[in-house]
Structure 1
């Protein structure tokens, strides 16, 4: 058994890639090199998960050849991604 099916691995990969992209393109001057601030992390994770939520909705409109949706931990990939967006938003509001 795999924890993902189809493009479900993007549920974690997309936010990580956006965080790394933000760290590379817009480094935070107040943070030591190689680190990131909480807000930069939340922004990257939130944007990556939002992209993945839309991607999951589009990809899961049609079933795969074997009849299974693109999933992550046995849930369609858009729902864990939406949860990541909500958690990032709530933490950003609380910490701001």
Structure 2
């Protein structure tokens, strides 16, 4: 059994890819080259995970039989819920900062 099914691997890939894209397009001048600030990390992970929440809601819509796993899951949870947890963690860290 895999820890993901369908597009569930995007739960981790989308936030990481968004962070790397953000670092490439808008490098933070206050940190050394190749590094990132906490603000940039939270924006990258949070926005990538938010995109993944929407993607998961679209991909996993529709009825399922009782006991059937979601078509696109990560660690046996529909992929939008772990992504939503990442968004919430980013918001909490940003507010506590």
TM-score, length of structure 2 as denominator length: 0.91
| RMSD of equivalent CA atoms | 1.6
Runs of 4+ in 1 over 3 A off after TM superposition: none
Q: How many residues align?
A: 94
Gaps (5+ residues) in structure 1? none
Q: Secondary structure at the match of 1:24?
A: helix
Distance in structure 2 (CA, Å) of the matches to 1:68 and 1:82: 16
Matches within 5 A, 1:7-86: 7-62=7-62, 68-86=70-88
Distance in structure 2 (CA, Å) of the matches to 1:63 and 1:87: 29
Distance in structure 2 (CA, Å) of the matches to 1:68 and 1:77: 8
1:67 CA drift (Å): 6.7
TM-score, length of structure 1 as denominator length: 0.92
1:2 is aligned to 2
